[in-house]
Amino acid sequence: MTQDIVILAAGKGSRMKSTFSKVLHKVGGIAMVKRVLATAKMLPESTLHLVVGHQGEQVEKECQDFSANIVWQDNPQGTGDALRRVAPFLQSEGATLTLYGDVPLIRSSTLEKMTSLSTPNTLVLLTINLDNPTGYGRIVRDEKGQVCAIVEQKDATSEQLAITEVNTGILLAPNAHLQGWLASLDNNNAQGEYYLTDVIAMAARDGVEIVTVNPENEAEVAGVNDRVQLAALERELQQQTARQLMQNGATLLDPARIDVRGELTTGQDVVIDVNCVFEGKVTLGDGVEIGPNCHLKNCTVGDNTVIKSNSMIDESQVGEHCDIGPFARLRPGTQLANKAKIGNFVETKKAIIGEGSKVNHLSYIGDTQMGANVNVGAGTITCNYDGVNKYKTQIDDGVFVGSNSSLVAPVHVSQGATIAAGSTITKKVEAEQLAFARARQTNKDNWPRPAKK
């Protein structure tokens, strides 16, 4: 059955105490509303509608990749009011699924379960039983156990407040009936709002079958109203992610101390130490080992590479059997061939490092094309920026660069050449040459050291 999916994202979220829309706050590195849209997009034959209001321009811009129909809800007056704004865009047949931009952990499997029960004469409601249902609308059933209404907390009697089955707000209603129900909504209630939940009583009145589905856990339907709840869902998502990584064959030395803020894919026998952060899309090959306190962002790491503690890899490609860190930083555009080594306190940027080449200590290599089996001594830098423009350094296979050398780009060091320690190289070095560029040393006898005054 074709579906309209409506994501409600118009609320201000004043309890967040924020200058931007609540639904743009992130869980697992992704804006909450984008998580909901991505889940909704997994359902086939669906049209997405995004209801925006407070700071709607920013929400629309952030979500533009989903090609959702943007519907404005100025002066919001409840969930029913939001659906009434979308009503002109709904298909005449099929059903409408209502989701919420601040309920980010809803699972596609739960939504698929709901859609499997949908018919032109069936309304599917997502409910959950809570030990403490305070604040939620209660599910009212008749003597036969059939759902006949939802009563909001502020409108409930003492008997209804004792009900533990509550409304999650997520429902799937047949479009053939929904248009009429929306037109019949009123705001005669304690909040003075148009409640979407009132369509439940209308469905029961019209003989529409009401069936319920339960989520796998409470976190799946938990909403975010403040930063405490946001932090709780962040921890829940990280725990879910950690379990999935371990089930896929990764070893996490402490599953409670890992943060995945995007998408992490791991091969077999990957080992990840504590306090590691993964952002964007990160792929780790088989046998990769990552030490504590590392930060990986939008990168790929080949099989059996070791990344030692306190290293950062950002938008880079790392080959197999590489050795990185500790305290190394690979900036965007870095590419390491197999068996390359980047040691402690080394920074690279737009650097292509050849197979087996080593930059072991305290060096900066930027805008550089480096061949295979190059050895770069401690304290070496490529001077790639003249204050206005960037230039490239070319280092061919087998070059040996002595410690504390400066290679002033644009410059080319040819195959097998040697750079003497302490040199500043400003012009091409031919193959197998020794280049040294430093002032002549002068030694003075009986030099008196300065005395403290």
Does 349 show up as a binding residue in the annotation?
yes
Does 8 show up as a binding residue in the annotation?
yes
Does 192 show up as a binding residue in the annotation?
no
Contacts of residue 198, defined as CB under 8 A and 6 or more positions apart, other chains included, come to 80, 150, 181, 185, 186
- Per the rule left: phi > 0, alpha: psi between -120 and 50, beta: everything else, 14 is alpha
Does 333 show up as a binding residue in the annotation?
no
Number of Cβ atoms within 10 Å of the Cβ of 291: 21
State how far the alpha carbon of 341 is from the alpha carbons of 318, 337, 357, in Å: 10, 9, 6
State which amino acid sits at residue 239.
Answer: Q
What is the C-alpha radius of gyration for the chain, rounded to an integer number of angstroms? 31
What's phi and psi for 227, nearest 5 deg?
-75, -20
Burial status of residue 341 (CB atoms within 10 A of its CB: 0-12, 13-18, 19 or more): buried
The verdict on whether 361 is a catalytic residue reads yes
Does 10 show up as a binding residue in the annotation?
yes
Does 407 show up as a binding residue in the annotation?
no
Does 73 show up as a binding residue in the annotation?
yes
Does 50 show up as a binding residue in the annotation?
no
Does 416 show up as a binding residue in the annotation?
no
Contacts of residue 446, defined as CB under 8 A and 6 or more positions apart, other chains included, come to none
Does 78 show up as a binding residue in the annotation?
yes
Does 380 show up as a binding residue in the annotation?
no
Does 404 show up as a binding residue in the annotation?
no
Catalytic site residue from 25, 54, 361, 412: 361
Does 385 show up as a binding residue in the annotation?
yes
For residues 98 and 170, is the Cβ–Cβ distance under 8 A? yes
Dihedral over Cα of 167, 169, 172, 175: its sign: positive
Helix (H, G, I), strand (E, B) or coil at 73: coil
- Binding site for acetyl-CoA, residues? 378, 384-385, 403, 421, 438
- Binding site for UDP-N-acetyl-alpha-D-glucosamine, residues? 8-11, 22, 73, 78-79, 100-102, 137, 152, 167, 225, 331, 349, 364, 375
- Binding site, residues? 8-11, 22, 73, 78-79, 100-102, 137, 152, 167, 225, 331, 349, 364, 375, 378, 384-385, 403, 421, 438
- Binding site for Mg(2+), residues? 102, 225
Catalytic residues: 361
